[in-house]
Amino acid sequence: MRKIFNAELTQLGSDLAEMSRLVEVAISNAGTALMTGDLRMAEAVIVADEAIDSLERELDTRCVHLLAQQAPVATDLRVIVTALRMASTLERMGDLARHVAQISRRSYPRLAVPEPLSGTFSEMNAAAVRVAQRTTTLLETHDLDLATSIESDDDLLDHLHEDTFTALLGGTWTGSSQETVDTTLLSRYYERFGDHGVSIARRMVYLVTGEFLEDGSPVH
Amino acid sequence: MRKIFNAELTQLGSDLAEMSRLVEVAISNAGTALMTGDLRMAEAVIVADEAIDSLERELDTRCVHLLAQQAPVATDLRVIVTALRMASTLERMGDLARHVAQISRRSYPRLAVPEPLSGTFSEMNAAAVRVAQRTTTLLETHDLDLATSIESDDDLLDHLHEDTFTALLGGTWTGSSQETVDTTLLSRYYERFGDHGVSIARRMVYLVTGEFLEDGSPVH
């Protein structure tokens, strides 16, 4: 009985990692579509989000089932409740990738990111992709060093988000309203990738160590 | 034992309603601060968000405790898992109210919403406050008619969000970049209030009826 339950918990971890891999592909492809104006890739990201949503529903159902069947306590309970929450966070990351792709699609054949900001958004994209990759690896390996680097990339994303606003609000910005609106939303979406990555990283730290992060952040 | 457990489940419901009342006040005050440029009210919303966050942590801890102590199944389990999720959604609504207040504070003494859009944002604010009020009442009474009216206000918020973009992107928009950025973010935050209200409403419908909504939305 215990053996089967252990296998089910392991499976839960694998499925979260699998979901995270799909999110990683979505973020990476959404970024490529955004920076290169690749319409087909943007559309592929939009379609692929359904698979992420459906994986979340599956994971959810399984978690609730395990709670009902196994009446877990202590670490087992924590693993399952954490899986529920991580699945919900990954689903949101998938939504954000879809939002980025939708802006690319709407802008086509124009690039959504105005030329003066393409460097900033390339950096944002690279940081978001790293967050997603490290989230996947963190879920696979439980290597907590990755949590630290996810936090660093989140800080970088916050800075780049600020940089975008500085550019938009500096006197030299000559973009159209459409460009200002798109850039504002895109920058917000990228900033949120970092927040969600950090949320997963902190939950994993808590799961492995039972400890809150130094800054006293609520990890639950 | 069962009697105590029932009392604990009832308490969970009351606490969610209490949390929703705080969110309702936050949204209402953030809207007033936004529309009138009331700096003190904006600051009060920002400070008050801590209470909402701390209520979420309390509720979370209690839910996990109940799962561990009571090993609930069937409806009881559904009630607790739903409470966990609703608390997380309410916490996000509180964050959004704080974001609205932060934009008001940053804009002070200027009003963040440019005059041509003040009508649209008044309507958005009214709709968001209704969503929050009905969410509270829905949590208190389980009256599912309220779920329908939350969905209507979410539709209205989506339309008003579109209207904002139409105004920003129409040829007659003469706002500054700062106004365009603030308006874009504010409109997005208001649109999200609706989504979160609908999320809670659908979970409540599922909790009460065990049924998914007609549109097949994932309610879990």
CATH number for A2-209: choose from 1.20.58.220, 2.30.110.10, 1.25.40.20, 3.20.20.140: 1.20.58.220
Q: Do B64 and A81 touch (CB under 8 A)?
A: yes
Residue type, B21: R
Question: Residue A211: pLDDT above 80?
Answer: no
Task: State the pLDDT at residue B219.
Answer: 39
Q: Do A180 and B178 touch (CB under 8 A)?
A: no
Task: State the pLDDT at residue B94.
Answer: 98
Residue type, B89: T
pLDDT range class, residue A171, cuts 50, 70, 90: confident
Among A64, A169, A181, select the one facing B168 at the smallest CB separation.
A181
Contact indicator for B174, B88 with CB cutoff of 8 Å? no
* Range list of β-strands (E), A118-210: none
How close, in Å, is residue B133 to chain A by CA atoms?
Answer: 25
Task: State the pLDDT at residue B1.
Answer: 73
Question: Residue A203: pLDDT above 80?
Answer: yes
Name residues of chain B where pLDDT drops below 70. Answer: 211-220
Contact indicator for B207, B82 with CB cutoff of 8 Å? yes
Residue type, B119: G
Average pLDDT, chain A: 94
Contacts of B188 in chain A (CB under 8 A): 185, 188
Residue whose structure tokens are 């808590």: A206
Instruction: Tally Cβ neighbours within 10 Å of residue B69.
Output: 12
Q: What is the mean pLDDT of residues A28-49?
A: 98
Question: Residue A217: pLDDT above 80?
Answer: no
Contact indicator for A110, A37 with CB cutoff of 8 Å? yes
In percent, the amount of chain A with pLDDT more than 70 equals: 95
Per-position b or e across B27-60, b if 16+ CB within 10 A of its CB: bbbbbbbbbebbeebbbbbbebbeebeebbeebb
Q: Can you read off the two tokens belonging to residue A79?
A: 């693993």
Question: Residue A213: pLDDT above 70?
Answer: no
Q: Do A53 and B85 touch (CB under 8 A)?
A: no
In percent, the amount of chain A with pLDDT more than 90 equals: 90
How close, in Å, is residue A217 to chain B by CA atoms?
Answer: 11
Residue of B77, B178, B180, B207 to mutate for A, most A C-beta atoms under 10 A? B180
Q: How far apart are CA A162 and CA A176, in angstroms?
A: 20
Q: Do A173 and B173 touch (CB under 8 A)?
A: no
Task: State the pLDDT at residue B171.
Answer: 83
Contact indicator for B100, B186 with CB cutoff of 8 Å? yes
pLDDT range class, residue A220, cuts 50, 70, 90: very low
- Interface size between A and B, measured as CB pairs under 8 A: 73
Q: Where are the domains positioned within chain B?
A: 2-209
More confident residue, B109 or A215: B109
How close, in Å, is residue B158 to chain A by CA atoms?
Answer: 15
Task: State the pLDDT at residue B218.
Answer: 43
Question: Residue A205: pLDDT above 80?
Answer: yes
Chain-centroid distance, C-alpha B11: 21
